């Protein structure tokens, strides 16, 4: 895309995966080129654009400059570092202050990784991406990991040769929001991709030697397609064998289209119990793969459902089975404790102090077995 826009300084996009907390963010595109998924409100109302390569190169150079300055200040270590940071910041425009802050966080985090923003970096021309990656490598040769989000639809259209060039230039981890591989679910939530394309894209990333994270969203099929959501997704994941399978339970904020479907009754959101069943069904049906399962999102009911397949499958599924076998009153206390942030894992239920807090929260919020799903929905909105 040709553009004559002026460079207005270092830019930061709105989000990164939880695993990129220590990474430097480099904004390659703005917002999402698809922006139609009915469960996603991240970029609603925001126009997609591709930043000129020259602007991104300038961003990289600005970060290199501030990294050098920060390292000089650190090397002096005469106790006046804070004062010198403030001097460096003084009088700078907002974008430079943002760049300095980003550089500082990155230096403190060890400067090992970079995350390319926003939602689908691979939509830019492969040659442009290669040029950017090469400049990153030249400027920061110590970087071990460069990561991006990407849509399956986009990756499926990139040739194997181009993917190989992108990998050789340094992109070594891609996160794909698969969410589901059930075509009916994908259609309903307007994901703009089907199961076959998910599989083609995932296999292509793996063939290029790029580490692949695929996200699964329990609950996205609603009550009606819960089983299909688990089984079809497990089948696709079995054909891809991604390095990571990341669980990200459906949340339903009021600003997304799916919330309107929920209000009209055309989408029936499963509560925590059926979502636990759905996750168990997925895990039970992951076969013949060596992926690592991660549960690194606050909306997940169980943070401990993590491990490597196949050896950790029993251990990973144990808390789900235990939870589903509990008396309803015990399940209720766990759900309230988890959704209020008191519990992070099932065994917290047996910590008398935490359990006491959870029981008090249940009473304070008047949560019963009849209204727990409404309570959960409200609590989850606070974390989105």
Which residues would be at the binding site for ligand SF4 (CB under 6 A)? 32, 34-37, 40, 42-43, 119, 151, 177
Give the nearest distance from C-beta 48 to ligand SF4 in angstroms. 9
- The smaller minimum CB distance to ligand SF4, of residues 45 and 327, is found at 45
Within 13 Å and on the Cβ side, how many CA atoms surround 16?
A: 19
Give the nearest distance from C-beta 381 to ligand SF4 in angstroms. 17
- The smaller minimum CB distance to ligand SF4, of residues 32 and 349, is found at 32
- The smaller minimum CB distance to ligand SF4, of residues 123 and 234, is found at 123
Give the nearest distance from C-beta 49 to ligand SF4 in angstroms. 14
- The smaller minimum CB distance to ligand SF4, of residues 177 and 319, is found at 177
Q: What angle do CA 261, 218, 40 make, to 5 degrees?
A: 50
Cα–Cα distance for residue pair 213/299, rounded to 1 Å: 18
CB 305 within 8 A of CB 347: no
Give the nearest distance from C-beta 244 to ligand SF4 in angstroms. 17
- Which residues face 61 on adjacent strands? none
CB 265 within 8 A of CB 222: no
Q: What angle do CA 296, 49, 54 make, to 5 degrees?
A: 100
- The smaller minimum CB distance to ligand SF4, of residues 151 and 269, is found at 151
CB 42 within 8 A of CB 15: yes
Give the nearest distance from C-beta 151 to ligand SF4 in angstroms. 5
- The smaller minimum CB distance to ligand SF4, of residues 177 and 274, is found at 177
Work out the widest C-alpha separation in the chain, in whole angstroms: 64
- The smaller minimum CB distance to ligand SF4, of residues 220 and 293, is found at 220
* Alpha-carbon separation of residue 382 from 20, 253, 254 (angstroms): 22, 9, 11
Cα–Cα distance for residue pair 12/142, rounded to 1 Å: 22
- Which residues face 113 on adjacent strands? 145
Give the nearest distance from C-beta 28 to ligand SF4 in angstroms. 14
Give the nearest distance from C-beta 366 to ligand SF4 in angstroms. 34
CB 198 within 8 A of CB 153: no
């Amino acid at each position: 895309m040709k553009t004559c826009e002026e460079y207005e300084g270092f830019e930061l996009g709105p989000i990164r995966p939880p695993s990129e907390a220590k990474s430097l963010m480099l904004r390659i595109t703005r917002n999402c080129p698809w922006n139609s998924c009915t469960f996603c409100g991240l970029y609603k109302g925001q126009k997609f654009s591709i930043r000129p390569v020259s602007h991104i190169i300038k961003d990289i150079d600005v970060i290199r400059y501030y990294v050098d300055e920060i390292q000089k200040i650190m090397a002096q270590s005469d106790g006046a570092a804070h004062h010198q940071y403030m001097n460096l910041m003084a009088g700078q425009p907002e974008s430079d202050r943002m760049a300095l802050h980003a550089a500082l966080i990155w230096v403190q985090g060890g400067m090992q990784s970079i995350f390319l923003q926003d939602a689908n970096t691979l939509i830019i021309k492969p040659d442009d991406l290669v040029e950017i990656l090469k400049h990153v490598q030249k400027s920061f040769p110590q970087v071990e990991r460069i990561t991006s989000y990407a849509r399956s639809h986009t990756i499926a259209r990139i040739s194997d040769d181009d993917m190989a060039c992108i990998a050789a230039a340094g992109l070594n981890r891609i996160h794909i929001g698969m969410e589901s591989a059930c075509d009916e679910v994908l259609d309903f939530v307007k994901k703009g991709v089907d199961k076959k394309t998910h599989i083609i894209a995932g296999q292509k990333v793996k063939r290029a030697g790029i580490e692949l994270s695929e996200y699964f969203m329990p609950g996205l099929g609603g009550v009606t397609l819960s089983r299909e959501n688990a089984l079809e997704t497990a089948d696709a994941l079995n054909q891809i064998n991604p390095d990571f399978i990341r669980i990200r339970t459906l949340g339903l904020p009021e600003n997304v289209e799916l919330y309107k479907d929920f209000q009209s009754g055309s989408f029936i959101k499963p509560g925590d119990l059926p979502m636990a069943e759905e996750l168990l069904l997925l895990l039970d049906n992951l076969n013949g793969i060596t992926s690592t399962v991660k549960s690194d999102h606050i909306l997940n009911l169980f943070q401990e459902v993590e491990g490597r397949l196949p050896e950790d499958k029993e251990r990973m599924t144990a808390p789900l089975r235990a939870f589903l076998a509990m008396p309803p009153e015990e399940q209720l206390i766990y759900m309230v404790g988890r959704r209020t942030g008191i519990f992070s894992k099932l065994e917290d239920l047996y910590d008398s102090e935490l359990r006491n807090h959870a029981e008090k929260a249940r009473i304070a919020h008047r949560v019963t077995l009849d209204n727990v799903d409404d309570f959960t929905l409200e609590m989850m909105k606070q974390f989105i």
